[in-house]
Every structure is written in C-alpha cells, then in structure tokens.
Amino acid sequence: MNYTSLVNNYTNKYVFGRYVTLKNITPFLEDLNQNFKVEERGKSVEDRSIKTVTWGVGPKRIFMWSQMHGNEATTTKGVLDLLLMLNENKEPFIEDWHSKFTFLIVPILNPDGAHYYTRVNANQVDLNRDSIDLTQPESQLLRSLFVEFAPHYAFNLHDQRTIFGVGDTGKPATISFLAPSYNEEREINVNRLEAIKLIVEMNKELQEVIPGQVGRFDDGFNINCIGDYFQSQNVPTILFEAGHYPNDYEREVSRKVVFRSLIVVVSALYEENYVNNSVDSYLNIPENEKNFNDVSIEYVKCKETRDQYIVKIQYLEQLKEECVKFCPIIVDIIKKESKFVHHAIKRELFFKDTLISISEAIDKELTDYVEIDSVMVSELLKK
C-alpha cells in the first residue's frame, strides 16, 4: 500500500488550522454517502450536538474519538481525511475494509470546548479525568457508546504541546503513542500487548517519513483517564498524541502523520502482519520529555555589565475572531544555553530598548503565525 500517495490524495478541505468546530465539520458529515450512518447521539453542556459516524459492516469493531479536549483538533483533521478517503471509495482495499470492520467514530466529543478553544468543557471539567465519576454529559455519552458498541479496539485521539521532544534527541515529538496501563503495576497483559504491537507497526512506517520524531507517552496509571479505564476493561486501547513538526504551527503536516498512522493501524489489523512485533521494539521508542521552547533570542545584553542572556519564549494560544493566534510569553531569562528550541533568533539586543527590539525581532522573523503583544513582551523588563 502506498501510504504517501493516499495521504497526499485525501485532504479534507472542510478543516484547516488549529480551530475546528462542529460548524466546520457538519457540512461534510451531512454529505457522506450511503455507506455511512451519521447520528446525533447526545448533547453537550451548552446543548451542542455530539455526532457519531458509523461505517462498515464487518465483525471487527474499532471505536475512536477526538477532541475530548476542545483545543486539540489535529487528530480530528486526520480522522476527517480518513473519512474522506472512505467516502470517495476509489481505493481497491476499501471494500475489503468495509466487510471486515465496523468503525464508530466521534469526531468531536467536546463541542463546547471546541467552540471556545479550551481544553475543558463548558463546566470547566477535563473530560479525560472524568472516566469514573462521569459527572459530565460528554463523559456519560462516551461511556454509553463504549458499552453499547463493545469495541475490539479503542483509539483515543489527542494533541500534545510544542514543549514535548523525543527523549533527549533534540527532535520534536511530532506524534506520540501509548498503550495505556491497565493497573498500578503497569503490567502487560494480552490486551495491552495487542496495543503495543500495533504501535510498533505504526512506528515502523513513521520512521520512514519523520525519522526520530515519534515519542512514547508516560504510562503512569490513572483510572480516571479514559484510556486507562478502557484498557482496564480488556479492550486494547491506543493513545494518539499529535505534536509539533518544524514550522508547522497550524499542524497541517501533523494531520497527515495522524492520517497515515490511522491507515497503517487499520491495514495492520486487516493484514494481521503485526503479531510478531515485540515489547522491546515498543520500549525502544524514546519517552516524551518536556524540553522544548518555541523561541529563544540569543542574546540580550545588559548595557552596564555586558552580561548576556538568553530569552526563552513560549506561545500562548489565543482565539481571536475564529482564528488561533500565537502570542509570545517570556518564560525564562537565563545565561546558559537553552536546551532545545523550535526557532532561535540570533540577534544581539540590549536591555535599554528591550520592549521595542524584542517585538521587532520576533515580528520580523515569525510574522506568519505570531501576533505581537507588547504588554506580554514587556514582562522581560520586570525580571
């Protein structure tokens, strides 16, 4: 199967960038062909529709959900690319998949969070910490779908921040995976082993296109997390975490990585070519580390002492007029080298004109996606 050709041929034009809402995806869902069943299965806190998409008639059931956190839309884009491919039905393997699998997909579980571009739902609850208490309508719906559908596999689809790197390699974690633990001891039973082997298969393919940019998420057990709970219910569960690709703050490259991963994992389940993959191959995927900054400015000098400093900046994502803007926030001023950074500005500045010069330095190099806020930049003067 030519994964590159598939990924390049199917990009769903209804979604782009970081802000993806129910309003964006509904016209596409309404236009799906007769092989799909699109239903409203519940409502959010603010009465927005939570839709499901069912496809296929096969005995092997795959359950996937995205945007449990409303500001994590990259995997939603990847899922919609997958649905576009299935809907156009031009590839020879799609009929085979249709007879082998049944997919149940929740494209946006948290439509209120998606609307406001927040991690939490409208009650300010993190749905990924509500798997046991089930205090929220979105969590209750996900659980009822899980019980009703009784999946053989569960795909938990998320985004991760730009701070994550692949171990200590200096490469960003463009995507990370996890076979969640099912108990405190983090043991590997037959169901978790199944998820591990599937992750290894995806990693093999991704190393060909994003070498060294696949990470492994921490497997600390928390029964309040949805993935850990589903794994504890003997359903092989895989966490997908879409992350940063260089200069891809809109995550349009990352969406293709998610789409490719979904094609690979479904193909593996169809071909059953993953069964001999080893636990060691999974453990050899480096764990994520929080070791990246978005920007560093090298150097800012003190005029009196001539000491020089490195300014470390992270972007604050802010929704403005249905567009996500990236506003620079100074998080540290240090003398030593910054560990890893996505964009280094090599320019000498002086404290005396810091407010103007840092704004200009960032604006000159990063105007494609950064909105300068001089109030935020001026935090440097308070250090």
Q: pLDDT band for position 313 (50/70/90)?
A: confident
Interior angle at CA 381, CA 377 and CA 382, nearest 5: 110
Does 383 have pLDDT greater than 60?
A: no
Percent of the chain with pLDDT over 90: 79
d(CA 155, CA 250): 23
**pLDDT score for 364:** 53
Nearest to 343 by CA among 306, 314, 372, 374: 314
Domain locations along the chain: 3-290, 292-382
Please report the pLDDT score of residue 244 as a whole number.
98
Between CA 309 and CA 312 the distance in angstroms is 10
- pLDDT class for 138, splitting at 50, 70, 90? very high
**Dist. CA 265–CA 200, nearest whole Å:** 10
Q: What integer pLDDT is reported at residue 365 of this predicted model? A: 54
215, β-bridge pairs:
176
What architecture does CATH give domain 3-290? 3-Layer(aba) Sandwich (3.40)
**CA dist 204 to 87, 275, 278, 282, 284, Å?**
27, 14, 12, 10, 12
302 vs 265, more confident: 265
Quote the mean pLDDT of the chain: 91
User: At residue 94, does pLDDT exceed 90?
Assistant: yes
DSSP 172: B
Distance CA 160, CA 175 (A): 8
- Alpha helices (H) along the chain: 3-9, 22-30, 74-88, 94-100, 111-116, 137-149, 190-206, 226-232, 252-271, 279-283, 354-365, 374-377
Cβ(117)–Cβ(323) under 8 Å? no
Polymer length of the chain: 383
Buried/exposed code over 64-98 (b: 16+ C-beta within 10 A; e: otherwise): bbbbbbbbbbbbbbbbbbbbbbbbeeebeebeebb
Query: pLDDT digit string (tens) for 316-364?
Result: 899 999 999 988 887 887 776 668 999 887 766 555 444 445 555 555 5
Instruction: Compare 293 and 333 and report the one with higher pLDDT.
Output: 293
Question: What pLDDT is attached to residue 345?
Answer: 79
pLDDT band at 370 (very low <50, low <70, confident <90, very high): very low
Q: Of the ranges 97-106, 127-136, 334-343, 350-359, which one carries the lowest mean pLDDT score?
A: 350-359
Look at the pTM and tell me if it is higher than 0.85: yes
The average pLDDT across 58-85 equals 98
User: How many other CB atoms are found less than 10 A from the CB of residue 248?
Assistant: 20
> Residue 353 carries which DSSP code?
G
* pLDDT value, residue 312: 86
User: What is the arithmetic mean of pLDDT over 23-37?
Assistant: 97
The string of pLDDT tens digits covering residues 184-240 is 999 999 999 999 999 999 999 999 999 999 999 999 999 999 999 999 999 999 999
pLDDT at residue 333, as a whole number: 77
More confident residue, 122 or 305: 122
